[in-house]
Every structure is written in C-alpha cells, then in structure tokens.
Amino acid sequence: AMITLRQLLDHAAEHGYGVPAFNVNNMEQVQAIMHAANETDSPVILQSSAGARKYAGSVFIRHLIQAAMEEWPHIPLCLHQDHGASPAVCARSIQAGFSSVMMDGSLMEDAKTPATYEYNVEITAKVVEMAHACGVSVEGELGVLGSLETGIAGKEDGVGAEGKLTREQMLTDPVQAADFVKKTGVDALAIAIGTSHGAYKFTRPPSGEVLAISRIKEIHERIPNTHLVMHGSSSVPQDWLAIVNEYGGDLGQTYGVPVEEIQQGIKFGVRKINIDTDLRLAATGAIRRHMATKPKDFDPRKYLKASSEAMKGICLERFQAFGTAGYA
C-alpha cells in the first residue's frame, strides 16, 4: 500500500533504521527493488526524477508503481518525486499520485544556479502548503552537495564546478537548518555533509571519515522531528566497477560513500538514503558481462534478467545494512 514519506520515516525514526530511496526509470529497476524488499520484509521508497519522467513518461511511472503495489500489497511503498525544480513540477507529481515530493530550492529553476536562502525558504514553504493540503509529504534541501575530499561540488550537481569551496561553505549550517524548518515546515531535509551525486565522489580509497558525521549529529539535535536525507549516497561497489571495465567499459577509478559511514549517519538521524548510481553500475556491469560471455544470446529478457539480478543484489545489501529489513 502507498504511504507518505512522513509516515514511513516517522516509523524509521521510532525504530532507529534508515530507508534507501532508489531511483526508478523502468520495470527492471522497480522489480529488482521490490523483489529485494519482499525477501527482506522492507518498506520501500521508489523515487523518480524529472529525467525518469522524461524517459518513461509519468503515466508509465505511475502504472509501474501501481503494478508493484498490486504484486506486493503487503510492502509499504512511498512514491517520491526526486529533485523538483519548481512548485509546478511538484504540483504535477501530486496530481499524478506521488505521496511525497522534493522541492529542491537550493538551486534555481534551471537546477544549476545556486539559489539564495530567501528564495529557498519562500519556494519550499509554498510547496509545503500545497502538498500538505493534499496529504503529501515534502523534502527540502539546504546546502551545496559536494565532496569534502576534492572541495568541489559534485560535477553532476552543476554547482561550484569552478571555484573550490571551504569545508565550512560545503556543510549545512545547523542554525540555518532550524530556521529553515521553522519557516517551511518540511517533513524531511536533504543536508550537505560531504556527499555528491554521481559515480565520481572520491579519488582515493576512503581512509578515515569521508563524511561530516558530527555535523549530522548537530543538525539532528536542532531539528529532531525533521528527517534527515542523504543524497549522493551510492557506495560505488568496486566489484561492479571492475566488471564494467573488464567487459569493455571505460570508467575512471573512483570511490563512493562507505556503507559504514551511512550506518553512522543513520545512528545520528539520517532516515532517507538516496541511491541511483550503484544500481546503474550493477546493471551496466551485468549487461556488459552477459553480452561478452554469451555472444549468441539475442533475447533481451536474458540480459535484462541479468541486470535485474545484479540490482537486486545491491538492494538486498542496503536493506540489511540500513536496518530496513524486517520493518515492512
């Protein structure tokens, strides 16, 4: 059954677990996540970006989710809109049946230019008013996502590509977070604590802490009833990266967020953990390997099945690691 983000994350907070929010664009991804959720008895967050809706069309997205709910009626499911760039985008998702929307007012409507704090407050408060009137939850975002190792905001975040930022500039300010929540009433807040979008997060194998864990704790202490969200939380599995490259891929050496640090984050108030890149890497690795090792196959079901199995493996690991398993 469909539930809101607020309902799901309130439960997660009560029981001290985190919920992976996987990006979905097609049937194989939805099925991979749902099979893993079913096997581990986990509630799920399926999220769709503007790019997903452009790829599949919002009607297909809606019906894929509907199908998942019919097939697995006992799994609580939140359908969340990832990175809404404007109130209009959020309104369309509410109309399309999403139970949660993200208004990313940290960027202007072009999803590139950093916004002022005042703009972010105003636009997010507007979406909260509209969404809450419809029984839909809202995630906001405060801060500039970026890797603390490189001092550069994620390439795929479109911000700060030129100048390096200081550590302080790259972290969400706890006092501002409290003011933001007070003025907007968001249910969940995406914070900048050292993660960045995409596959290229860290250039070296993580040694010591790569995230600002103490900052998570400080923010959580000021806004205990607002659920913290970590974007850019793929761990970039080295085995899948190697498989992609072994079978003709050309990805650079790169490292993601260690699962242990996400577990630390969950301990200090992180409830929603966004993952897209990891499923992309697993799917691509599995398909490349299948194509290379079974050159006579030309039935798409065979290689898509391989991709589903690979994605499901990642989902199983995350449901277990984040403590989601058993809470469906």
For 291, the 3-state DSSP assignment is helix
Binding mask 87-106 for Na ion (x = CB under 5 A): -------------------x
Which tokens in the block code for residue 292?
Answer: 């290379």
Say how many C-beta atoms besides its own lie within 10 A of residue 317's C-beta. 17
Residues comprising the chain, all counted: 328
Q: What part of residues 6-35 is at the interface with ligand 13P (CB under 6 A)?
A: 23
Does 104 belong to an annotated binding site?
A: yes
- Is residue 243 exposed (0-12), middle (13-18) or buried (19+ Cβ within 10 Å)? buried
- Which of Zn ion, ligand G3H, ligand 13P, none does residue 51 bind (CB under 5 to 8 Å by kind)? ligand G3H
Kindly state the smallest distance separating residue 1's Cβ from Zn ion, in Å: 26
**DSSP string for 14-63:** HHT--EEEEE--SHHHHHHHHHHHHHHT--EEEEE-HHHHHHH-HHHHHH
Does 63 belong to an annotated binding site?
A: no
- Ramachandran assignment for 61, one of left (phi > 0), alpha (psi -120 to 50 degrees), beta (any other): alpha
Kindly state the smallest distance separating residue 21's Cβ from ligand 13P, in Å: 7
Residue of 41, 82, 110, 297 marked active site: 82
DSSP state of 66: H
Contact present, 120 and 142 (Cβ < 8 Å): yes
Binding of Zn ion by 231 (CB under 5 A): yes
Does 275 belong to an annotated binding site?
A: yes
The only residue of 198, 249, 258, 313 in contact with ligand 13P, by rule CB under 6 A: 198
Binding of ligand 13P by 262 (CB under 6 A): no
- Is residue 70 exposed (0-12), middle (13-18) or buried (19+ Cβ within 10 Å)? exposed
For 198, the 3-state DSSP assignment is coil
Provide the binding-site residues for ligand G3H, judged by CB under 6 A.
23, 49, 51-52, 82-83, 197, 276
- Residue 164 or 294 having the CB closest to Na ion: 164
- Which of Zn ion, Na ion, ligand G3H, none does residue 38 bind (CB under 5 to 8 Å by kind)? none
Binding of ligand 13P by 40 (CB under 6 A): no
Residue 157 designated active-site: no
- Which of Na ion, ligand 13P, ligand G3H, none does residue 52 bind (CB under 5 to 8 Å by kind)? ligand G3H
Size of the site for Na ion (CB under 5 A): 2
Binding of ligand 13P by 272 (CB under 6 A): no
Positions marked active-site: 82
Residues that bind Na ion (CB under 5 A): 106, 141
